[in-house]
Amino acid sequence: MNAEVTIDDLTPAERRRLKVRDAIIEAAEDLFTKEGEQGISMRRLAEAIDYSPAAIYKYFDSKEALFSEMRELFFERLIKRMNDAAEEGGNEHVLCARCGRAYIETAMEEPRHYVMAFSFFKKDELPDESSFAFHAEKQLCDMIRAGIENGTFREMDPLVASKSVWASVHGLAVLMASIDDFPQGMPGSEHVSRDAVIDFHTDMIIRGLDA
């Protein structure tokens, strides 16, 4: 659902469709958590929400389509968070740090959704220009390019940099989403908070971009 559209804007039929779609995604997350990717099939999803497999196919024509939709939902939420971060203002240092934190926090809002969405990514599913993922990375790339142009960031290929930054924050997001008690649950790290790790990680990324 578009970030600008609220549930009240939908027709009764659209609300029912959204409710079923959300139930399918929740069932997929439960199966993924318990049994991994191999536990997910259209038949198992249908059983979980008491629907027929044929009804499930009206929403997603394959397991791959379901995973792709979940990624798009994440990036749709992320773009809104990035836009909100940009509206707060600040230089490229501040904006990049804020957007890095926004990425991780958006992933942590629904960690099972995030881990599952990125667990099955085929070559022919790479983001194209119509996808929210493409536009999220473009916003990051434009931010880095602006920092290069005004001398805040060193000379570099902004497309290389944006993908490297994405890979870096994605790695931390997956780690936090996959390990419930990370980092405090690790021996000797009881004093280490998630906020401290996020702040250090985003600072380390920005130092790598600095002029």
DSSP letters, the chain, are --TT--GGGS-HHHHHHHHHHHHHHHHHHHHHHHH-GGG--HHHHHHHHT--HHHHHTT-SSHHHHHHHHHHHHHHHHHHHHHHHHHT---HHHHHHHHHHHHHHHHHHSHHHHHHHTS---GGGS--TTSHHHHHHHHHHHHHHHHHHTTSB-S--HHHHHHHHHHHHHHHHHHHHH-TTTTTTSTT-TT--HHHHHHHHHHHHHHHHB-
Give me the pLDDT at residue 3, please. 46
**pLDDT higher at 118 or 160:** 160
pLDDT tier at 4, thresholds 50, 70, 90: low
Residues 71 and 154 in one domain: yes
When pLDDT is averaged across residues 186-207 and rounded to a whole number, the result is 95
pLDDT of 149 over the 80 cut: yes
Residues 35 and 94 in one domain: no
Residues 188 and 91 in one domain: yes
When pLDDT is averaged across residues 150-162 and rounded to a whole number, the result is 96
Structural domain that includes position 103: 63-209
Residues 43 and 118 in one domain: no
Residues 56 and 73 in one domain: no
**pTM strictly above 0.75:** yes
Give me the pLDDT at residue 182, please. 92
- Quote the number of domains for the chain: 2
Per-residue pLDDT tens for 70-124?
888 888 888 998 888 888 888 889 999 999 999 999 999 888 888 887 876 666 6
Least confident of 7-11, 12-16, 87-91, 141-145: 7-11
